[in-house]
Amino acid sequence: SMTRKSKTPRKPLFKKGSQASLKDPVGVYCRVRPLSFQDQESCIEVINDTTVQLHTPEGYRINRNGDYKETQYSFKQVFGTLTTQKELFDVVANPLVDDLVHGKNGLLFTYGVTGSGKTHTMTGSPGDGGLLPRCLNMIFNSIGAFQAKRFVFKSNDRNSMDIQCEVDALLERQKREALRQIDPEFADMINVQEFCKAEEIDEDSVYGVFVSYIEIYNNYIYDLLEEVPFDPIKPKWNSCNTPVRNTDFIPPQSKMLREDKNHNMYVAGCTEVEVKSTEEAFEVFWRGQKKRRIANTQLNRESSRSHSVFIIKLAQAPLDADGDNVLQEKEQITLSQLSLVDLAGSERTNRTKAEGNRLREAGNINQSLMTLRTCMEVLRENQMYGTNKMVPYRDSKLTHLFKNYFDGEGKVRMIVCVNPKAEDYEESLQVMRFAEMTQEVEVARPVDKVICGLTPGRRYRNQAFREELTQLLLQSFPPLPSCEILDVNDEQTLPRLIEVLEKRHHVRQMMTEEFNKQVVAFRAMLQEFDNAVLNKDNYIHGKLSEKEKVISGQKAEIERLEKKTKTLEYKIEILEKTTTIYEEDKRNLQQELESQNQKLQRQFSDKRRLEARLQGMVTETTMKWEKECNAPPIRIRHRRSRSAGDRWVDHKPASNVQTETVMQPHVPHAITVAVANEKALAKCEKYMLTHQELASDGEIETKLIKGDVFKTRGGGQSVQFTDIETLKQESPTGRKRRSSNTAPAQEVVTEPEWTDVETRCSVAVEMRAGSQLGPGYQHHAQPKRRKP
C-alpha cells in the first residue's frame, strides 16, 4: 500500500522585522462523524489525535500495480466519532471567545461535503447544543454582570458604535422595548449544562452584544434578520370572499460590501440586534433560520447550497472616573467580532446531478469555495517564498468579506467535517487536500487593545461607597415602629410613631448641622490648601524665573558654541577638500613616478642586452680575425674525393621526409645525428647536412650541404662548407607541334616521364661548432656562395 504523509510547511526564507515572528498558522481541525448504519463501508480511519487515513473503497479505481491506495493527512487535532460537543468547543471555540472578550477578532469555518456534520457541529441538536450556542453562553457568562443598559451602545451604518447618555437610552427603551417570548422550537437547543467563563475580564468596562445573520447565495449577500422581504404574505381574496393562496413572493434584496475607515469589510445596511442573554441571541438566530427555510422553499433551492454567517459583535467602553456611568468618548470604544461560518457543501457539480438554475447555483457555490482555495494558495506562496502576488479576495463575496482576517485582523480556525462512508471517498479526498494546504497559511497575530488610562477598580469602589453610605444612614436613624392600627381606641401607636419621627427629625437636624460644620471646616482647609499652593506656586515661579535666566544664559552660550562649531565645521570641510586635492595630486605623481621607474628599468634592460650583444659581436669578430690571421691554409680537395680514412658526420634533422629518388646519398663510416654536437664533430673530418624544402613545382627538394671539419685554437670545431648537392624529381612536359596550314593545330603530347636530376655547386662557408645547428637551420641560415 502507498502511504503519503502530509508535508510540513517550510519556514519562510525571509524576515520582515519582528512581525515575522508574530504569525500563527491557520488552525485546521478534523471531525469524523459516525456512520449512519453500522454495516456501512468506511473509507476513513482515525490513526491518532492528529492523523487520519483514507483508503480506497472496494469497487473504486486502484493503482497501476493493483494495490489499494492509502493516504494520511495530519491536522492540529482530530476528533473521532465519540467526541462530544463540549470537548470540541473547549479546544476550538473557547480561545476565540476569550479573544473576543479581550478585544480581538476571530473567524471559525466549518467545511465539508453535504451530510458531513457541519450544521450539527455549528448549531447542534435538541439537548446537545453546538458551537454557536456555547459561544453565546460563554460570552454572557463572562460579561453578564457588566453589561451596559440597552441602547447605551447604538450601532450605525459605518461599522462602528455610538454612545448614548443614560437619558437618551432610557427614552429609547421606553419607545422600543417589548417583552420577548422564547420560541419553544429551539428552547432545548440552548440547554447547555456546562458552565464556561472567560478569565481576567475588565471589570471597569461595560459591554454590549450585537448579533447579525447573513446568507451568501449565488455570490449575493442577503440579510436574514431584515423584516420586509420574508414577512408572511397577506392572503388575497376572490369575489366570493374566500382567501386565495398568494403565490407572489418578494425576492430578498442583496446587500453590498463596503470598507470602513479602518479598512475593514462589512455588509452595508445589515441588521444588528442588541441582545442581553443567550436565550435572546439564539432566538434571533433561530428567527433567521426560519426565514432561510422559507426562502429555500419559496425559491425552490437546496439549503446546503448557501453559506451562512452568524456574526457576534462585542462593544466595550470604560466607566468614567467615578465608576458609575459610561465614559462619553466614542474613541474609547473597543469593537471586536466573532464570525461563525457554516460553508456550503463542497461536493462537485457532477455529483449534485443538477440542471439549469440548479447547475448554475452549484457552479457559483463551487466557484466561491474555489476562490477561497485560490486565496489560500496565493497566501501560502507569498509567505513561503517571499513573493508579493495579489490575493484574489474580490473574486468572491465570501473571501472579500473576510479578507481582513487573513491580513492580520484576528485568529482563523477551520473545522473539516468528514463522513467516513465509501460514497463520499472522492469528495473527502478533495476536502483533505484543501485542509492540508490551508494549515500552511500563516495569519498575523492580532495586537492587544489599548488600555484606558483611568484608575482600575473604579466600579467596585463606587459600589462599596454606596453600600457604606446606605448602611450609615440606616444606623443613624432609629427604626420605625409598627404603624398598623387595628383598634379605634388605640392611643399608643400614633404617639410612638410621632416620637420616633421627631427623633429622626432631630437626628437629621444634628447631622445637617454637623455636615455644615464639616463643610465650613473643609472649606477652610481648602482655603489653606489653596494659599499653600499659591505660596508654593509663587516660590516655584521665582525658582523657575531664576532657572529661566540660567537657561537663557546657557542658550546664549550654546548658540555661541554652535556658531563656533559651524565655523570649525566649515574650516574642516575646506581642509578635507584641500586634503582630497593633495591626495589626488600625490596619487597622480606616484603613478607618474612608477611609470618613469618602469621606463628606466626597461631602458636599462635594453642597454644591458645591447651591451651583451655588442660584446658577443666583438668576441665573434675577434675570433674570426684571429682565425683568418692564424688559420692554416685551406686544403683544396676535389668535390668527390673520398679518402678511405675520412669519417663523416651525417646530420639528418628529425623533420626530414623520406623521398623516393633513385640517387640516394650513401656515406660510409658516418656518424648519423639528428642534432649537431661537438663530440661527433671531434671524431670526424667531414660534415654533411641534409636539408629539405618545398620547390616551386610542389615537389620536395633535398639539398646535401657538405664541408670539412677543422679544429680551432680554442679547442673547438669549425666547419668550412665546400659543396651543395641538390636532389629532386622533375616531370618533363610534352612539346606542341602545329601544322603549317590554317587548320586548327593538333597537339602531340608526349607521356610525362619522371627524371632524377642532380645539381652540384661548390661553396665555401665557415661554421663554428660553437654555433647552434639544428632542425631549424635550413630555414634561417643560407650558405654563402664563393665567387668562381
Known binding residues are 112-119
Binding-site members for ATP are 112-119
CA distances from 141 to 57, 144, 145, 197, 284 (A): 47, 6, 8, 6, 19
Cell of 438: 490551508
CA angle 406, 409, 410 (to 5 degrees): 85
Of 23, 124, 98, which Cα lies nearest the Cα of 408? 23
Concatenating the DSSP letter of every residue in 400-464 gives HHTHHIIIIIEEEEEEEEE--BGGGHHHHHHHHHHHHHHTT-EEEPPPPPPPPSSPTTHHHHHHH
Name the strand (E) or helix (H) holding 213.
strand 205-217
Burial 649-682 (b: 16+ CB within 10 A, else e): bbbbbeeeeeeeeeeeeebeebbebeebeeebbe
Q: How far apart are CA 615 and CA 618, in angstroms?
A: 5
Of 664, 682, 685, 700, which Cα lies nearest the Cα of 778? 700
Interacting residues of 589 by C-beta distance below 8 A, sequence separation 6+: none
Interacting residues of 458 by C-beta distance below 8 A, sequence separation 6+: 204, 319, 320, 321, 322, 323
CB atoms within 10 A of CB 173: 13
Q: Are 92 and 131 in contact (CB under 8 A)?
A: yes
The DSSP letter of residue 40 is S
Q: Is the dihedral of CA 701, 707, 712, 716 positive or negative?
A: positive
The DSSP letter of residue 650 is E
Name the strand (E) or helix (H) holding 220.
strand 220-223
Q: How far apart are CA 709 and CA 689, in angstroms?
A: 13
Name the strand (E) or helix (H) holding 359.
helix 357-385
Q: Are 305 and 217 in contact (CB under 8 A)?
A: yes
Q: How far apart are CA 89 and CA 137, in angstroms?
A: 12
Q: How far apart are CA 219 and CA 413, in angstroms?
A: 23
Q: Are 12 and 383 in contact (CB under 8 A)?
A: yes
CA atoms within 13 A on the CB side of 542: 5
SS3 (DSSP) at 314: strand
Q: Are 182 and 279 in contact (CB under 8 A)?
A: yes
Of 168, 175, 133, which Cα lies nearest the Cα of 153? 168
- Phi, psi for residue 210 in degrees, rounded to 5: -125, 140
Cell of 308: 451562512
